[in-house]
Chain A
């Protein structure tokens, strides 16, 4: 196998973020939400590695806490989107006919909204909260999953080995389960990776707007938003959370590319 720098670098970057989050579950230098107004906007030091914010909270601890928030929100959202999207996509691709037409029309309508706009609309209804975000983004991105799953099912169905299975006398249901369903795994895995990235980005954008995970809980997005007024005096407050988001996204994107290469049969030859 040839060296895959994408896999290596992507894995390292994402691994770093995961380790930071895992550490934060058991230990952070300070309590990420405890304020200390006497120590506001302290520059980085050996006590406060990345300084403190406008409420005197330790930035490093909050970044670590933010990693937990971002990763858990993204993972739960991906699950919601996958479960919903797979259900709709499989139902459409398997049953075809009127079921598919109706599901297809609904799905195409939802796809006619940019994902983040749909999430904004849903948040307007649900109100900002951690689970509101998960539900809104999950619903917003489920249609893309549904489309990929349905498309894969419909194209695999046309392959000769599926016809061969029918010729053997296998029932339609068995054929779909045994010969069609497993083939949706590869595209779904690749898509789930991209989704993970989009959702990290969307969640931090929504939190930045104040529509995401509400304070005082730390997220990279709301840290950026509250850092804005102090940009000149404490630029690190604005830089650090962005670096974390970018690290995470770069890791996801590189890993996604590597996965696509690995799972693409054309490249395997």
Chain B
């Protein structure tokens, strides 16, 4: 049943309820995500203590570790202990290097974050206006070309495009370094040089996905009556687009941006491998090779949490573009 308008009075109450609801939904998801990471690592055959210490460990060391990590206690207690430590920032120590996993992840994440956020930012700025304009000029030559280009771009594997770019701009033209990395703290200009190619590579491919999405949702919106209504009021075309069509069409694209960030974070290892960047993905892959389970566990948890948070932010931004979602 439709609530009589104005009866509940303060509309802010709706928005607040919506925000609280989203936050409340995110909490159990985080717990379940943590649980699946924890139990996934428990699926590894063999005793965790031996796995953590490696095959060469002495029985005494194994026994000590079992007590220290609570591995002799029931599995649910172990999970609780692990969550408690994780919340305090303690994700254990790397088996191979002995470094604390938490700070290690944070250090590597700076590289990954720079690439992911920069590429998504560039892609959004480039693709969303392009897709929307293509929709406005639906079936024109420009539109057909934009869709064809987008489909082509999203069919190119990122790591291959990266290799080709390295070949062309690194080896043949010598514009950018082929291997290595310096942090922004050391040398901003140098760091930009190192991340330029990976960012451009990823941005191009995301552009393909985003153009198609932005175009599709704008096409949907443009055939709704309120667009015709705005035109029938004599609203100039640029304003029809800028005020009525584009902002409304952006909402579904916003959701997609969240999803893209997730799949980028998950698949960042390949691009970091191509460009030999010391990022989070590279850390994960190296840990998988080294069977460094505390690191695998930590990185997976970290990326999943970031992903949940990104989606949460997307959901919280959504009402700005479509206030209907707060109606419950």
Binding site for B on A (CB under 8 A): 105-106, 108-110, 112-118, 120-125, 197, 201-202, 204-205, 208-211, 224, 228, 231-232, 235, 238-239, 241-242, 245-246, 249-250, 252-254, 257
- Whether the pair B273, A209 counts as a contact (CB closer than 8 A) is yes
B266 at the interface (CB under 8 A from A): yes
- Whether the pair A120, B270 counts as a contact (CB closer than 8 A) is no
A254 to B152, CA, bound (A): 9
B37 at the interface (CB under 8 A from A): yes
- Whether the pair A205, B157 counts as a contact (CB closer than 8 A) is yes
Q: Which residue of A lies closest to B30 (CB)?
A: A112
- Whether the pair B164, A242 counts as a contact (CB closer than 8 A) is yes
A138 to B157, CA, bound (A): 20
A-B contact pairs, 27 of them (CB 8 A): A105-B28, A105-B32, A108-B29, A110-B36, A112-B304, A112-B308, A112-B311, A113-B300, A113-B304, A114-B307, A116-B263, A116-B266, A116-B267, A120-B284, A121-B300, A124-B296, A125-B41, A201-B157, A205-B159, A210-B289, A224-B160, A228-B163, A232-B167, A238-B163, A242-B156, A246-B155, A249-B155
- Whether the pair B164, A238 counts as a contact (CB closer than 8 A) is yes
Q: Which of B234-286 contact A (CB under 8 A)?
A: 262-267, 269-270, 273-274, 284-285
Chain A residues with CB below 8 A from B273, complex form: 208-209
B125 at the interface (CB under 8 A from A): no
Given the known A-B contacts A120-B266, A205-B267, A231-B163, are A253 and B296 also in contact in the complex, defined by CB atoms under 8 Å?
Answer: no
Chain A residues with CB below 8 A from B157, complex form: 201, 204-205, 242, 245-246, 249
A249 to B161, CA, bound (A): 14
- Whether the pair B159, A224 counts as a contact (CB closer than 8 A) is yes
Q: Which of B147-183 contact A (CB under 8 A)?
A: 151-152, 154-157, 159-161, 163-164, 166-167, 171
Name the distance in Å between A136's Cβ and chain B's nearest Cβ: 11
Given the known A-B contacts A238-B164, A250-B151, are A117 and B266 also in contact in the complex, defined by CB atoms under 8 Å?
Answer: yes
Q: Which residue of A lies closest to B35 (CB)?
A: A109
Q: Which residue of B lies closest to A6 (CB)?
A: B151
Within 8 Å by CB of A115, from B36, B154, B156, B263, lies B263
Chain B residues with CB below 8 A from A124, complex form: 44, 287-288, 291, 293, 296
- Whether the pair A120, B29 counts as a contact (CB closer than 8 A) is no
Within 8 Å by CB of B159, from A105, A109, A121, A208, lies A208
- Whether the pair A235, B167 counts as a contact (CB closer than 8 A) is yes
Given the known A-B contacts A246-B156, A249-B157, A250-B152, are A114 and B28 also in contact in the complex, defined by CB atoms under 8 Å?
Answer: no
Chain A residues with CB below 8 A from B288, complex form: 120, 123-124, 211
Name the distance in Å between B48's Cβ and chain A's nearest Cβ: 13
Name the distance in Å between B66's Cβ and chain A's nearest Cβ: 21
Chain B residues with CB below 8 A from A125, complex form: 40-41, 43-44
User: How many of B's residues come within 8 Å of A, CB to CB?
Assistant: 49
Name the distance in Å between B139's Cβ and chain A's nearest Cβ: 12
Most buried by B among A113, A124, A235, A239: A124
Q: Which residue of B lies closest to A251 (CB)?
A: B155
Name the distance in Å between A66's Cβ and chain B's nearest Cβ: 13
B33 at the interface (CB under 8 A from A): yes
Within 8 Å by CB of B29, from A109, A197, A257, lies A109
Known: A109-B32, A112-B32, A115-B263; 5 extra A-B contacts, CB below 8 A, are: A113-B304, A124-B288, A232-B171, A246-B160, A250-B151
Name the distance in Å between A67's Cβ and chain B's nearest Cβ: 15
Given the known A-B contacts A105-B32, A116-B266, A231-B163, are A121 and B37 also in contact in the complex, defined by CB atoms under 8 Å?
Answer: yes
A159 to B262, CA, bound (A): 34
B303 at the interface (CB under 8 A from A): yes
Q: Mark B181-198, 1 if CB is under 8 A from A, else 0.
A: 000000000000000000
Name the distance in Å between A32's Cβ and chain B's nearest Cβ: 20
Name the distance in Å between A269's Cβ and chain B's nearest Cβ: 13
- Whether the pair A109, B163 counts as a contact (CB closer than 8 A) is no
Within 8 Å by CB of A209, from B269, B291, B308, lies B269
A254 to B167, CA, bound (A): 28
Chain B residues with CB below 8 A from A246, complex form: 155-157, 160
- Whether the pair B163, A242 counts as a contact (CB closer than 8 A) is yes
A246 to B291, CA, bound (A): 32
Within 8 Å by CB of A257, from B151, B163, B171, lies B151
Q: Mark B69-112, 1 if CB is under 8 A from A, else 0.
A: 00000000000000000000000000000000000000000000
Given the known A-B contacts A210-B289, A231-B167, are A113 and B152 also in contact in the complex, defined by CB atoms under 8 Å?
Answer: no
